């Protein structure tokens, strides 16, 4: 289900809440760099099944994605059947044996993720975890689950609206308590399980999620495979950079690389910018039918290394000129990455764009590497840069001056 959250965000943004104190995440032994893997939702949605997940795991290995760092194979919504008299949630016929599937995925050296939510129902209307949090967490651990995406969905009606109608502050407390409950339940299993909060970036989730064990949290509504969706989400990440770090990441949603109507330049820009943002890199495409040029984007190791940089410092947009955006990220060892992005609808929208290194805090000629051309590049003050529409220049500078 694609959620429309704009109105609710606007309403909640008007309220001022005291943020929970920042604390080290109890699960910080996982996700020390942004999680990488694949998730079923963006391409397969309700069509995901055991066979498709096994095929995705096989492809992650055979395409070299595993070697490039993709480890989590995440089942999203629609695996669930009903609970039995003892409250045990069963899988539906698409997933005959979740433990066997976990064993298979693990046998490939990969990890398995699953999906639920704090309400009665998931976004697609399947059974979720309300009132069964400990029981579900225990079952996940017994299956060998390594990652949980916990999606708000019906909790808004089931609990927030039902228990605290018209009281946004009380509703927020209920929501935080629900996420905390599952965080504790996961921790109590003793199994390292990445905890991914999905509540669309409401209520400054970045301020309170780490303290309750959240390793990542969605910062926006759902992404779609088109430029406007991707670029709007990208623009909404500005200002959140201080909340990202080892063990706790802003999540601008899963990758749409290879999906929908994104051009090659747009796919490159999407992937580059998620790397600049230290975002989780969860591919969401049809892996068995992936085109070589999409594989080349998803497995560009130097771009992935930007994402996975151990400092975990998310990029900021340093300046924009016309339709060109300049983002910069500081990397371990004093290195830096600079992205020049043409958000305009034509090549000439970058004219007359001249790079201003001083605005980036850089002085004089900079020697770097263009990570898409795979070539050395020299950046000079005032140099003209011409980019195709929606394309990007991504440069790593080892010794910025």
Q: Decide: is 80 part of the binding site for ligand GLA (CB under 6 A).
A: no
Which lies closer to ligand GLA via its Cβ, residue 253 or residue 307?
Answer: 253
Closest C-alpha among 168, 76, 158 to residue 118: 158
Rounded to the nearest whole angstrom, what is the least distance from the CB of residue 225 to ligand GLA in the complex? 13
From edge to edge, which strands make up the β-sheet containing 249-251? 249-251, 216-218, 194-198, 147-151, 111-116, 72-74, 36-39, 281-283
Does a cis peptide bond (omega within 30 degrees of 0) precede residue 352? yes
* Active-site residue flag, 151: yes
Torsion sign over Cα 352, 357, 360, 361: negative
CB atoms inside a 10 Å sphere around CB 11 = 11
Which lies closer to ligand GLA via its Cβ, residue 124 or residue 265?
Answer: 124
> What are the strands, taking DSSP E only, across 243-365?
249-251, 281-283, 316-321, 324-330, 336-342
Using CA atoms, how far residue 185 sits from 1, 162, 182, 192, 229, in Å, is 27, 24, 5, 12, 34
Measure the CA–CA gap between 250 and 248, rounded to whole angstroms: 7
Rounded to the nearest whole angstrom, what is the least distance from the CB of residue 338 to ligand GLA in the complex? 31
Task: Point out the catalytic residue in the list 50, 76, 136, 222.
Answer: 222
Which lies closer to ligand GLA via its Cβ, residue 5 or residue 264?
Answer: 5
Which of 198, 262, 294, 338 lies at the binding interface for ligand GLA (CB under 6 A)? 198
Rounded to the nearest whole angstrom, what is the least distance from the CB of residue 218 to ligand GLA in the complex? 7
Q: Decide: is 222 part of the binding site for ligand GLA (CB under 6 A).
A: yes
Q: Decide: is 256 part of the binding site for ligand GLA (CB under 6 A).
A: no
Rounded to the nearest whole angstrom, what is the least distance from the CB of residue 343 to ligand GLA in the complex? 25
Closest C-alpha among 358, 365, 356 to residue 385: 356
Q: Which one of 119-127, 172-180, 332-340, 364-372 is the stretch in contact with ligand GLA (CB under 6 A)?
A: 119-127
Q: Decide: is 124 part of the binding site for ligand GLA (CB under 6 A).
A: yes
Rounded to the nearest whole angstrom, what is the least distance from the CB of residue 2 to ligand GLA in the complex? 6
Which of 63, 91, 116, 122 lies at the binding interface for ligand GLA (CB under 6 A)? 122
DSSP character string of 57-69: HHHHHHTSHHHHT
Measure the CA–CA gap between 45 and 122, rounded to whole angstroms: 13
Q: Which one of 96-104, 118-126, 164-172, 189-197 is the stretch in contact with ligand GLA (CB under 6 A)?
A: 118-126
Which lies closer to ligand GLA via its Cβ, residue 219 or residue 300?
Answer: 219
Q: Specify which residues 375 forms β-bridges with.
A: 370
241 neighbors 208 (Cβ within 8 angstroms): no
Which lies closer to ligand GLA via its Cβ, residue 77 or residue 309?
Answer: 77
Q: Site map for ligand GLA, 157-196, x if CB under 6 A?
A: ----------------------------------------
- Site residues (CB under 6 A) for ligand GLA, limited to 229-248: none
Which lies closer to ligand GLA via its Cβ, residue 284 or residue 368?
Answer: 284
Q: Decide: is 309 part of the binding site for ligand GLA (CB under 6 A).
A: no
Sorted by sequence, the CB contacts under 8 Å of residue 96 that are 6+ apart come out as 50
Q: Decide: is 202 part of the binding site for ligand GLA (CB under 6 A).
A: no
Q: Decide: is 251 part of the binding site for ligand GLA (CB under 6 A).
A: no
Buried/exposed 336-375: b ≥16 CB within 10 Å, e otherwise: bbbbbbbbbeeeeebeebebebeebebeeebebbebbeee
Q: Decide: is 76 part of the binding site for ligand GLA (CB under 6 A).
A: yes
* Active-site residue flag, 222: yes
Which of 49, 50, 80, 151 lies at the binding interface for ligand GLA (CB under 6 A)? 151
Say whether 292 sits in a helix, a strand or coil: helix
Which lies closer to ligand GLA via its Cβ, residue 252 or residue 344?
Answer: 252
Which of 33, 36, 41, 248 lies at the binding interface for ligand GLA (CB under 6 A)? 41
Which residues are designated catalytic? 151, 222
Per CB under 6 A, residues contacting ligand GLA are: 1, 3, 41, 76-77, 122-124, 151, 198, 222
């Amino acid at each position: 289900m694609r959620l429309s959250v704009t109105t609710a965000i606007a309403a909640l943004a008007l309220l001022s809440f005291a943020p929970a104190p920042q604390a080290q995440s109890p699960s910080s032994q996982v996700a020390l760099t942004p999680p990488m893997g694949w998730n079923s939702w963006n391409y397969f949605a309700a069509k995901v099944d055991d066979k498709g997940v096994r095929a995705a795991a096989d492809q992650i290995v055979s395409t070299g994605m595993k070697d490039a760092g993709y480890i989590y194979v995440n089942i999203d919504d629609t695996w669930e059947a009903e609970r039995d008299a003892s409250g045990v949630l069963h899988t539906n016929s698409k997933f005959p044996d979740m433990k066997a599937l976990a064993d298979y995925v693990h046998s490939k050296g990969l990890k398995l993720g699953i999906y639920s939510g704090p309400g009665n129902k998931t976004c697609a209307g399947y059974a979720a975890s309300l009132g069964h949090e400990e029981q579900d967490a225990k079952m996940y651990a017994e299956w060998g689950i390594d990652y949980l995406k916990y999606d708000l969905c019906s909790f808004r009606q089931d609990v927030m609206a039902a228990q605290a109608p018209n009281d946004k502050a009380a509703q927020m407390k209920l929501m935080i308590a629900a996420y905390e409950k599952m965080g504790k339940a996961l921790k109590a299993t003793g199994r390292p399980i990445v905890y991914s909060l999905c509540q669309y970036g409401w209520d400054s989730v970045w301020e309170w999620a780490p303290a309750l064990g959240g390793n990542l949290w969605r910062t926006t509504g759902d992404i779609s495979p088109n430029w406007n969706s991707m670029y709007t989400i990208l623009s909404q990440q500005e200002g959140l950079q201080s909340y990202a770090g080892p063990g706790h990441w802003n999540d601008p949603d899963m990758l749409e690389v290879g999906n929908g109507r994104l051009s090659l330049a747009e796919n490159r820009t999407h992937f580059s910018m998620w790397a600049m943002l230290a975002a989780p890199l969860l591919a969401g495409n049809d892996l068995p039918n992936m085109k070589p040029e999409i594989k080349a984007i998803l497995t560009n190791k130097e771009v992935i290394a930007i994402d996975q940089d151990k400092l975990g410092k998310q990029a900021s947009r340093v300046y924009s000129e016309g339709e060109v955006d300049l983002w910069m990220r500081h990397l371990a060892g004093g290195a830096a990455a600079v992205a020049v992005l043409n958000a305009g609808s034509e090549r000439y929208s970058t004219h007359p764009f001249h790079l201003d290194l001083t605005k980036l805090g850089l002085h004089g000629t900079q020697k770097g590497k263009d990570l898409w051309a795979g070539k050395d590049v020299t950046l000079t003050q005032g140099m003209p840069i011409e980019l195709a529409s929606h394309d990007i220049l991504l440069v790593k500078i080892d010794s910025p001056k």
